[in-house]
Structure 1
C-alpha cells in the first residue's frame, strides 16, 4: 500500500530497519533515548523519514545523537565514519560555485543540504558529534559558517586528527575529494 508521500510500506520499512539496526549498534551516541520513541516519531512524520532516506542514499549513515531541549525533538546527524562519500567534491555554497570561473565542482554543500532537507552542522554540533565517536579521521566536513566569515570569502570545516577535533577555515570556493558535509535533522 502506498502512503500519502508516495512511498510504499516496504520502502519505508527498509529505512526504518536500517535506522533501528544502527541505533542498536551504537548506544553511546544516544544515551537515554529509547528506540520505541524514535520509531513512534518517525511513523507519524513520513516526510522526515524520506529525508533520512536521502541522507542514507548519500552514505551519511544517519543516527540519533541528541534530544532538542526546547522541542523534545530527536536530533539525527550523519554518523558515517568519514564525511559522506555521496556529498564530497563540493564548494561551500552557491555563491562560491557561481564565483568559480573554471574547474567548477558539481555543486555546493549548502545547495545539496537544502535539496536533501537538512542543515549543515554548526561548530558546536560538530563537537557534540565528535564527543560521541571518532569521525573524519581521513576526511573533513564543511560546517555552517558565521555570516561575517562568509562575507569575507571564507567558510569553516572540521576534522579529527591526532585524537583531537579541529575547526579551521578555507576559501568558500575550494573543494576537495576528501571534503564533504554532514547534516542535521530534527524529528
Structure 2
C-alpha cells in the first residue's frame, strides 16, 4: 500500500497527526526501503517505521557485523544492523516493538530482530520478537543466527 494510503488507513498509529503535518519530513529513499511504512507516535515523538504484517522481506541476516564476521560456516552477506545503518535507520527497540504489537499483531508467522541492549550483546546474544498464542513475545538467540523467517524492523525519528 502506498505510504499516504497506509497513513490514512491507520490513524490509531499517529492520533491527531495529518498527512500534511509530516509529508515534507519524509525522505523518499527511506520510504522506499521500508516495508508498509507508516508514522508511529511514540513517547512524544514521531517515527517512520516498518509496519508490514510479517517481518520485512529483508531476511536471512544475522544481528550485526561482529556476529556475521565471526560466524565460521555460511555467513550471510550482511546483517540487520549493517543494513539499517547503511540506510540511516535504527532497529526498533523492545519497548517500541511491544507498543507496535499493542496496535496490531505483527510477525505472526515470522520473527524480527530488534535493538539489543549491550549487556546482552556482549554475551553473544541478540533479541527478536514474534506474535504467537494471542500475545507478543521477546526471545533471544545467538547474534550469529539467521533464518528465512527472521528479518528486522527499522525506524527513523522524524519529529
The TM-score bracket by the shorter chain reads: over 0.9
Partner of 1:75: 47
Structure 2 residue 42 is the aligned partner of structure 1 residue 32: no
User: Shift of the alpha carbon at 1:78?
Assistant: 0.4
Structure 2 residue 82 is the aligned partner of structure 1 residue 111: yes
User: Shift of the alpha carbon at 1:67?
Assistant: 5.0
User: Shift of the alpha carbon at 1:33?
Assistant: 1.4
Indicate conservation of the 8 Å contact 1:75/1:186, yes or no: yes
**Which runs of at least 4 in structure 1 moved beyond 2 Å after TM superposition?**
none
Which protein has the larger Cα radius of gyration, Structure 1 or Structure 2? Answer: 1
RMSD between aligned alpha carbons? Answer: 1.5
User: Shift of the alpha carbon at 1:49?
Assistant: 2.9
Number of matched pairs: 158
| Structure 1, unaligned runs of 5 or more | 1-16, 43-47
Indicate conservation of the 8 Å contact 1:142/1:180, yes or no: yes
SS in 2 for 1:158: strand
Alpha-carbon displacement from aligned partner over 1:46-66 (angstroms, at most 9, x marks no partner): xx33212222xxxx2110111
Partner of 1:9: none
Structure 2 residue 129 is the aligned partner of structure 1 residue 158: yes
Q: Larger strand proportion, structure 1 or 2?
A: 2
Using the alignment, how far apart are the partners of 2:19 and 2:152 within structure 1? 26
Indicate conservation of the 8 Å contact 1:145/1:156, yes or no: yes
Change in 2 beyond 3 A, CA 1:67/1:152 = closer
| Structure 2, unaligned runs of 5 or more | none
Partner of 2:40: 65
Indicate conservation of the 8 Å contact 1:65/1:77, yes or no: yes
Using the alignment, how far apart are the partners of 1:121 and 1:74 within structure 2? 13
Indicate conservation of the 8 Å contact 1:29/1:133, yes or no: no
Indicate conservation of the 8 Å contact 2:42/2:96, yes or no: no
Q: Larger helix proportion, structure 1 or 2?
A: 1
Question: Does 1 or 2 have the higher relative contact order (CA < 8 Å, sep 6+)?
Answer: 2
If the length of structure 1 is used for normalisation, what is the TM-score? 0.80
Mean Cα displacement is larger for which, 29-38 or 165-174? 29-38
If the length of structure 2 is used for normalisation, what is the TM-score? 0.93
